[in-house]
Amino acid sequence: MTWINRNHVVFFLLLLILMSGRTAYCWFDKTHIAAAKAAGYDRWYNAAAPDVARVKAGSIEGNNHYYNNPGDITITPESVIEQAERYNNPKDKKGHMYGAIIASLREYIKHYRTGNYAHLHLAYFVHYVGDLSQPLHNMPNDNFNNTRHLINDGIVNREVLGNIGSIASHMYRIDLQHKNLEYAVAKETARLANQARTLGNRLKKEQRNMTKEEVYIQLGHSASLMKAVIKQLEKL
């Protein structure tokens, strides 16, 4: 099998992504890792692990990575928390990325208190927050989304690990009330979801892909929320 080289592997992986439908899309692996590094996540190398799990878990995991938002509705903290009940639900084809953020946070806290591999759940949380900033993860699954999604997922992937400072330059402080951490995270999740959806609608209106600058801005949003939550979790 010496004919299989790196380019063949990449080709077949992309082919699998295209054949497996909407749930296969997400920022590419290096992009997830770079956002996690910018956020100061000490296990940044785990940030792409949920996509690795999805190869075998299929829609059980894949539906956690997006929300189709078929009605193009405004996201609220309450709707974010409501989605948490659909975490890992393979039948929810609309997706439930916002709820996955909350549910994985719950799992981390629960397992942290029992000392049972809590860091694995934090890897999922970091990944979902990374996906949150991709505008096309927050939009209806229409022709524009299907045509443009894969391209937008990989816009900075080749260069991003050498440009983590470009993510950091767009980060900002997010204050979370530790007393009611779940609701505070849901509120920020809703804010970033609506911001990403607004950008996505602009891209659709202008029939274009994101610029590199727009990608780094979006990754800065995700990294800012990751950093804020990790800081609060250190107080547990």
- pLDDT means per 10 residues in the chain (236 residues)? 45 41 71 98 97 94 96 96 98 97 98 92 98 97 95 98 98 90 97 98 98 98 98 94
Q: Which pLDDT does position 98 carry in this prediction?
A: 98
* Cβ contact 176:105 at 8 Å: no
Q: Identify the helix (H) or strand (E) that includes residue 220.
A: helix 212-233
* Cβ contact 182:188 at 8 Å: no
* Cβ contact 95:24 at 8 Å: no
Q: Which pLDDT does position 5 carry in this prediction?
A: 52
Closest by alpha carbon to 133, among 217, 210, 77? 217
Greatest Cα pair distance, the chain, in angstroms, is 57
pLDDT in tens, 48-60: 999 999 999 999 9
pLDDT in tens, 7-50: 444 434 444 443 344 444 689 999 999 999 999 999 999 999 99
Domains of the chain, with CATH numbers?
6-233 (1.10.575)
Q: How crowded is residue 118: how many other Cβ atoms within 10 Å of its Cβ?
A: 17
Residue 30 CA: distances (Å) to CA of 2, 155, 160, 170: 26, 11, 7, 18
